[in-house]
Structure 1
Amino acid sequence: MSALVEVDWLVAHKDQVVLLDASVTRIDRGTGLTEFAPGPEGFAKGHIPGARFADLMQDFSDPSARFSFTAPSVAQLQAAARAVGINDDSHVVIYDSLGGAYAARLWYLLRGHGLRQVSVLNGGLQAWEAAGHPLESGMGTEAAPGTFTARPAEGLFVGADEVMAQVSQGADPARPLLCALRPEQYRGEGSSDPRRGHIPTSLNLPYPALLGADGRLDPQALPQKLADLGLSRDIRPVLYCGGGINAAGLALAFHLIGQDDVTIYDDSMSGWRADPALPVEAGA
């Protein structure tokens, strides 16, 4: 079962899957730092018929953590998955309204905790509407509780200490640090934060660069992007971004070209910037 499905496939199989909307509300205050809020209001205004709202900020992240989108405990993730009706044998299809990285984050969490059949809808809500399909309003019907049992894999996430150790050893082309932020964010442009920029030795591989004008992910663009950075497709990268979201989009793209030996620095730049003992670099 592909980790990336198209709208036509979903139309034909919608009654056979658990369809989740993982959208969040993104708020730009004009300060160079983006704020986020849970997305139930947007979901209520319009979603794919039959979808259930998956609260990525509150239920599928640790709401008590210092940084947004921090991975939840195994028990919390299992409870959240069951609450939206996921069983061990469910095929879950996830979408969002903001380019697919939020859906990819939930894909990464569920797959990394043992769910075998989980996919992202390519192009998300935008692709559904562009194909002329209707939306549904309201919060939908409550799902029957699921029976999913979370079984976390090793190596899903690394912490700042592990990343700092990697930085101290210097750039490693076999296990590079890859920043999935947009180039201007990587360079630290448009922000007054004195600790703007990126983690030293890391290379910039923006997740948005893998999206077409229609918002659909093209994983076959990834090998060329890697070659442009002097990297092969067989690397074992550590991925980061601002808060672990775009990094999950990159993880999905790597999976789609057959590379699953990736890990995510979960706190990403939100955590890295917050510790003045950790070095940052601005510029290209």
Structure 2
Amino acid sequence: MTEKSEMSGSDGGTDGAEIVVSAAWLADRLKEPTVRVVDVRDAWEYDAMGHVPGAVNVPFDAFRDREGPDLGTLPGAAAFTDLLGDAGIARSDTIVAYDDTNGVFAARFLVTALVYGFEDVHLLNGDFSAWKHDHPVDGDPVERDPVTVEPRRVDGPESPILEHDAVVELLESPAADVVFLDTRDAEEYAAGHLPGAVRFDWTEAVDPDTRGFRSPDVLRKRFAERGITPDRPVVLYCNTARRLSHTYVALRWIGVDDVHIYEGSLTEWRDHGRDLVAEE
């Protein structure tokens, strides 16, 4: 995977422009029978603070498994499809995920869903705090009839993820013209980052007033300052593939489609004994 054309396609699912949806968009569709809202907060938050009407609770820790059969913290196709099937979510459903942490945990759910072949997936722009400011919440737990979902994993160029060997190959192939983007904070980046990587702290994409994403125009400008434009492929990493998920969604939303994530991130990189570049 050393050529730009081999990286393109990112995933076969939701169009980038539709990957982020507004609270108004969701409010207008809550009663549609195939819309499934997923709350990824802890169960106690879901129970004690209320939730978006109709939302089922799929806590973050339920789909993040360091011991799973897939690399990084992916739980494996069977475990993830069983989890969603138990929550009454079918592959044909429209899925909208949210959290109460600026969308970073919900973005991880979204990326995981894409890896396992759920195509119609979206992130609520603004988190639960933003939703409840203008919309009603429900305090009763939601349980839906389970459905059977066949396990599937998207591999190859259509997958949003890259494995260790592909990352090494791209780093050693300048002709690929790939931007490696570190989504951690400045201190972590200075302590050690991938050779040639530029930094974009995932929180730079967050509007502190709305708790959602900054406007597309602002995001395009900030990413362009790092050399990221729609014509260049991008590989994202952090430490454990959580923070990069938020940046993945931001990039897809503004029209950067040739974007992948290094799922193992620096945890795996260090496990392989690979060198990092530190700054004095």
- TM-score by length of structure 1 reads 0.80
**Equivalent residue for 1:55?**
59
Name the residue aligned to 1:144: 145
Q: CA deviation at 1:91?
A: 0.9
Q: Distance in 1 between matches of 2:197 and 2:182?
A: 6
| Contact 1:173–1:231 under 8 Å retained in 2 | no
Is the aligned partner of 1:157 residue 2:174?
no
Structure 1: segments with no counterpart, 5+ residues: 24-38, 189-196
Say if 1:95 and 1:120, in contact at 8 Å, map to a contact too: yes
Measure how far apart 1:54 and its partner are.
1.1
Shift in alpha-carbon separation, 1:149–1:236, aligned structure 2, 3 A: farther
Instruction: Within 5 Å, give how 1:74-223 maps onto structure 2.
Output: 74-131=77-134, 133-137=135-139, 140-153=141-154, 154=156, 155-169=159-173, 174-188=177-191, 197-213=192-208, 214-218=210-214, 219-223=216-220
Return structure 1 stretches of 4+ with deviation > 4 angstroms. 65-69
- Separation in 2 of the partners of 1:67 and 1:110? 14
Given that 1:238 and 1:264 are in contact with CA atoms closer than 8 Å, whether structure 2 keeps it comes out as yes
Counterpart selection for 2:46 from 31, 43, 66: 43
Shift in Å, 1:43? 2.0
Q: What is the identity, as a one-letter code, of the residue corresponding to 1:159?
A: E
| Structure 1 residues 199-248: Cα deviation after superposition (integer angstroms, max 9, x where no partner) | 22211122211111121113433321232123422221111112112211
Q: 1:6 aligns with which of 22, 30, 52?
A: 22
- For the aligned residue pairs, the C-alpha RMSD in angstroms reads 2.6
Q: Tell me, what secondary structure is at the counterpart of 1:15?
A: coil
2:86–2:146 Cα contact (<8 Å) kept: yes
Higher relative helix content: 2
- Residues in 2 aligned to 1:223 and 1:86: alpha-carbon distance in whole angstroms: 33
Structure 1 residues 55, 117: closer, same or farther in 2, change over 3 A?
A: same
CA distance in 1, matches of 2:207, 2:80: 32
The aligned length equals: 256
- What is the SS of the residue equivalent to 1:14? coil
- On the 8 A contact 2:56/2:87 being kept in 1, the answer is yes
Shift of 1:68: 11
The partner residue of 2:245 within 245, 248, 251 is: 248
Please, which runs of 5 or more residues in structure 2 have no aligned partner? 1-13
How far apart, CA to CA, are the structure 1 residues paired with 2:89 and 2:261? Answer: 24
C-alpha deviations, 1:92-142, integer Å up to 9, x for none?
Answer: 1100111112111111222333323211110111211232x344446x132
CA gap 1:67/1:82 in 2 versus in 1, 3 angstroms: closer
Q: TM-score, normalised by structure 2?
A: 0.81
Higher relative contact order (CA 8 A, sep 6+): 2
Q: Is this contact kept in 2: 1:61–1:68, CA < 8 A? A: no
Partners of 1:116 and 1:211 lie apart in 2 by: 25
